Structure 1
Amino acid sequence: MTLLPLACKSLINRRFAALLTVLTIAVSVTLLLGVEKIRSQARDSFASTISGTDLIVGARSGPVNLLLYSIFHIGDATNDVSWQSYQEVSASPQVAWTVPIALGDSHKGFRVVGTTPEFFSRYHYGARHELVFDAGKPFDDVYDAVIGAEVAARLGYTLDQQIVIAHGMGAVSFVEHKDKPFRIAGILARTGTPVDASVLISLHAIEAIHIDWQSGARVPGQTISADDAKKMDLTPKTITAFLLGLKSKVATFGLQRQINDYRAEPLLAILPGIALQELWGLVGTAENALLIVSALVVIAGLLGMLTALVTTLNERRREMAILRSVGARPRVIFGLLVLEAALLTVLGIVLGVAFLYLALAFAQGPIESHYGILISLNAPTLRELLLIALVAAGGVFAGIVPAALAYRNSLADGLSLRL
């Protein structure tokens, strides 16, 4: 007796209940695999925010704090780095290049980053991808600005449009540098990194807009025009942090130790990869909690299937007795119930995977746009396949309970019909 056609016909005969069971499993599988895929893609995007930089240097605080404000533009620095210290570290024979970063201002809630033109060639993300311009070019005038893709998309900015930088980091600011407007010289292509939500200007521009300011406020009775400011000495006095590349990777730990022991002022040098791992470890608890919730949803779906199979056993005693009468042994009854559970689980998994990729296809753009996470529609990873296998095994295991009950009923009933 072939069990597969028999199991299929049995499920078709109870198609409404079977369909609900399949949908329940499909939704739970979609949630489980969706959380796993977004988690893994978020981690990949997170880890690839910066690449090709050997050290990040800032005022002494903590590695995670330095990484957060210098790269992710979250929070503020505990202190600044003097321009003299920056120049001394840059002059080290092991150093190949440096890119300074100055933070503290904003534009309509987006971070303003003061830097040098080298930022556009030295900053890499992902697998050493370089920054690419969608339009325009790097700044070459004091009052030029380059904006990220997210800034351009949300604010509808285009080339040569004028913008005003605000003092501080508030989304709404009442203290603006209106006397020194900037012209948008370039718009960067989307990267999926914090650069997308940044307004980049030169270090000289940072000095120019604050040249008639002191202690975070405009100096009373002193107003210096934009043109006059350009003629003044705009050498920075301090910066927030700087990125550093080495001529040889062998010198990384030695230079890191020298910077951390720097006597002129307390500095901290961190390796981006190690700091990223430490930061991800802090948020790993939330990621594990999501996976646990998803697993519980899958278990609830399998329990629903178990309940449906068990509750129909009494109604199916006649069916089992007829199968016995045509020569089916109790183990065949057992196998039939297990196979039905396996079929329901497999159909639920297939439908759940289809739901997942369909949902990701529609949500891919918004997720990248709003959260900077690039979700690739690639084949399931080994971990995802393992989760699918566990769900399938769970479905088969759940089918053993009703199968064992049907086996026992079959032995007890024999060929008698219990109506």
Structure 2
Amino acid sequence: MIWNLIYRSLRQHALSTLVTAGSIALAAGLLLTVWVVKTQSQAVFSSTTSGFDAVLGARGSKLQLVLNAIFHLEASPGNLPAADVAAISRHPAIKAAIPIAVGDNFQGWRIVGTTPAYFDVEYLPGRKYAFASGGKLFADGTREAVVGAYAAKQLGWKTGDTFQPYHGLAFDPQAQHEEVYTVVGVLAPTGTPADRVIWIPLAGVQTMGGHDPRAAADVSAVLIQLRAPTAGLMLDMMLNKQGNKMTFAYPIGAIVADLFNKISWVDKVLTLLAWLVALVASASVLVSIYNSMSARQRDIAILRALGARRRTVFGAIVGEAAVIGLLGSVTGLAVFVGFAAVVTGIIQAQTGVVLEPLKWNPVFWWGPLTFVGLCMLGGLVPAVKAYRVPVAETIAPVS
């Protein structure tokens, strides 16, 4: 009997039901998006190391070094002399030391110089860089380039295309170099910051026309692979605490995680706003049903007169609120897919990192259940009012 009452009430008040469920769907979609993007971003960014354990650079901020060398978002704090790079490369604790140089762009897309050894590293466990059909790696000493998948797609580049770099990390149409580079390969998508980069031989950046010839052998940073985790602590002591020339950023994941901890207040504000929207949406259930109680009182009194118990009427109102919450929550999953697609697209465009918003997250079960529960709480007030409807007075004809 309760389900029949719920169905009839929802059908009779279809417009208010749809509007209320729609507000809940928006609130649910917002909450799910904030929660999933927050948790996934922290996990994915903290695990994005491009296959390296540490970054060595000029004296400065560890975070700046990591953002520059791993995520290609920051400027270099300075250059490392070739002698220092050679010395650190020979250290017995270091398995591999791959230099990079930055300082040029093409229409805002960063150009990074490195050695072919960079592409031999597993950027994720068990995954190495690969090329789209017909592509190959550039050769040292040539004016050849390898382009990340996302950059190539946005620029419309393919193997055989040519371009002229621009000086600086910010695009200036007046700062074009004379050198012409040929694209010899497009990387297969990796879902990492490498997808947004144009890669050229290290010497290409070092000796580009207009660059200081005195710094022709310098590099912006050195990407480090260690032979053992304990080596990182030893080098941290030697270079950061005892030395004063270089900065050793280790471990990369912890440095990125610290950044998220520093800006955690942003996540908290967004989550708080999402919960406030959820509460407002749940309150709309209370208002919607409560405002319709005046029109329902006679129907409720007739039902009571026909034998319906108070608890049946009470349960029907609370059940109606729960169904509205369930409809809104289910629709909210579709809203979340739309919101998440936009947000992850922006993150990929800005960082190259690809999130997987549809990957299972516990919020997918407790989020909708929470909304249903809030809606049921909102339905308690009109349910109590329905419970207290006086049968005789309500049915009695008005003279």
**TM-score, normalised by the number of residues in structure 2:** 0.90
Which residue does 1:165 correspond to in 2?
A: 165
In the alignment, the residues of structure 2 paired with residue 298 and residue 41 of structure 1 have an alpha-carbon distance, to the nearest angstrom, of 22
SS, match of residue 112 in structure 1: strand
User: Which 5+ residue runs of structure 1 have no aligned equivalent?
Assistant: 217-234
Q: CA deviation at 1:323?
A: 1.4
Separation of aligned partners in 2, 1:27 and 1:350: 11
Aligned position for 2:85: 86
| Structure 1 partner of 2:129 | 131
Instruction: Give how far 1:128 is off.
Output: 5.3
Q: CA deviation at 1:69?
A: 1.6
Q: Report what 1:285 is aligned to.
A: 265
Give the Å deviation of 1:120: 0.8
Cα-to-partner distance string for 1:138-175 (whole Å, 9 max, x where unaligned):
11142111111222122222212221122212212423
Shift of 1:47: 2.7
Judging changes above 3 Å, is the alpha-carbon distance between structure 1 residues 362 and 281 closer, same or farther for their aligned structure 2 residues? closer
1:27 aligns with 2:26: yes
Equivalent of 2:366 in 377, 381, 386: 386
Identity of aligned residues (%): 28
Distance 1:74 1:370, change over 3 A: closer
Note the aligned Cα RMSD (angstroms).
Answer: 2.7
Q: Structure 1 pair 418/272, CA: closer, same or farther in 2 (3 Å)?
A: farther
Count of residue pairs brought into register by the alignment: 396
1:337 corresponds, among 290, 313, 317, to: 317
Counterpart of 1:144, as a letter, is E
What is the SS of the residue equivalent to 2:308?
Answer: coil
Report the equivalent of 2:146: 146
- Give yes or no for contact 2:71–2:193 (8 Å, CA) kept in 1: yes
- Rounded to whole Å, the distance in 1 between the matches of 2:201 and 2:301 is 85
**Which of 214, 224, 243 lines up with 1:244 in the alignment?**
224
Residue 374 to residue 105, structure 1, CA distance change in 2 (3 Å):
closer
| CA distance in structure 1 between the partners assigned to 2:93 and 2:360 by the alignment | 43
Contact 1:50–1:123 (8 Å) recurs in 2: no
Which whole-Å CA distance do the structure 2 matches of 1:3 and 1:418 have between them?
29
Q: How many Å separate the matches in 1 of 2:182 and 2:376?
A: 65
Q: Corresponding residue for 2:387?
A: 407
- Per-residue CA distance 1:4-37 (angstroms, 9 max, x = gap): 2221122222222222222222222122223323
2:42 — aligned with what? 43
2:212 to 206, 214, 234: 214
Distance in 2, matches of 1:213 and 1:171, equals: 16
Equivalent pair of 1:259/1:269 in contact (CA under 8 Å): no
* DSSP 3-state at the match of 2:49: coil
1:13 aligns with 2:12: yes
Unaligned runs of 5+ in 2: none
Amino acid at match of 2:112: V
Q: Distance in 1 between matches of 2:79 and 2:126?
A: 28
Using structure 1 for the length normalisation, give the TM-score: 0.86
**Corresponding residue to 2:296 among 292, 302, 316:** 316
The range that moved more, 334-343 or 283-292, is 283-292
Question: C-alpha distance in 2, partners of 1:61/1:39?
Answer: 28
Distance, in Å, in 2 between the alignment partners of 1:409 and 1:326 is 14
Evaluate the alpha carbon distance shift between residue 98 and residue 334 of structure 1 in structure 2; reply closer, same or farther with a 3 A threshold.
same
The CA deviation string for residues 26-75 of structure 1, in whole angstroms up to 9 with x for no partner, is: 22212222332333333344234325321111112122111112222223
- Which residue identity is paired with 2:195? D
AA partner of residue 396 (structure 1): M
